[in-house]
């Protein structure tokens, strides 16, 4: 036969577990607003997309709030390394009342499947999106051959 005290103890343990989980999530959300938890690091990764054409690779990366001078690109024949940082400062003469946007930094590398021409790489940032055009090296680009009759 089931004892009422055993059932009651089970619900007390479940309630204790629920309160502990609530505390953990509340702490994580508070750290998110302040800007320094493991949860906030998940959202700091910039979304990237790489497409390819016959002549080039085109990389687009979301870098919201990053100025062009805070973006660093290193290009070799084999790949690309991006380093970007967003810093949120307080204008002179003001103080922070509420801080919901944080500073972040990203460093990411991509290896290209074929050689690229580092001298011809073009990069621009517009509306928070970095677009990097990486032309393929001449020796790996497809060539059109005219067939004569």
- In tens, the pLDDT along 50-66 reads 999 889 999 999 988 88
Segment 35-50 shows an average pLDDT of: 56
- In tens, the pLDDT along 78-117 reads 999 999 988 888 889 988 877 777 788 888 999 999 999 9
Clarify whether residues 31 and 65 are in a common domain.
no
Clarify whether residues 80 and 114 are in a common domain.
yes
Clarify whether residues 25 and 83 are in a common domain.
no
Clarify whether residues 29 and 66 are in a common domain.
no
Tell me the average pLDDT of the chain: 82
CATH at 53 = 2.60.40.790
pLDDT at residue number 31? 52
Clarify whether residues 22 and 82 are in a common domain.
no
Answer for the pair 132, 122: CB distance below 8 angstroms, yes or no.
yes
CA angle in degrees (0–180, nearest 5) for 10-14-20: 145
Phi, psi of 125 (to 5 degrees): -115, 130
**Domain count across the chain:** 2
In a domain, 94, yes or no: no
Answer for the pair 102, 85: CB distance below 8 angstroms, yes or no.
no
Tell me the two tokens of residue 51.
Answer: 């497409």
Q: Which domain range does residue 25 map to?
A: 4-39
Clarify whether residues 60 and 123 are in a common domain.
yes
């Amino acid at each position: 036969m089931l004892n009422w005290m055993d059932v009651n103890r089970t619900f007390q343990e479940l309630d204790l577990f629920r309160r502990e989980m609530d505390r953990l999530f509340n702490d994580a959300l508070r750290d998110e607003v302040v800007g320094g938890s493991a949860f906030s690091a998940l959202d700091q990764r910039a979304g990237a997309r790489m497409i390819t054409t016959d002549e080039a690779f085109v990389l687009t990366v979301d870098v919201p709030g990053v100025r062009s001078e805070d973006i660093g690109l290193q290009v070799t024949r084999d790949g690309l390394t991006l380093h970007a940082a967003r810093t949120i400062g307080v204008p002179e003469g003001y103080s922070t009342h509420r801080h919901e946007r944080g500073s972040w930094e990203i460093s990411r590398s991509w290896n290209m499947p074929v050689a690229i021409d580092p001298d011809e790489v073009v990069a621009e940032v517009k509306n928070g999106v970095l677009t990097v055009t990486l032309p393929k090296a001449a020796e790996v680009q497809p060539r059109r051959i005219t067939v004569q009759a």
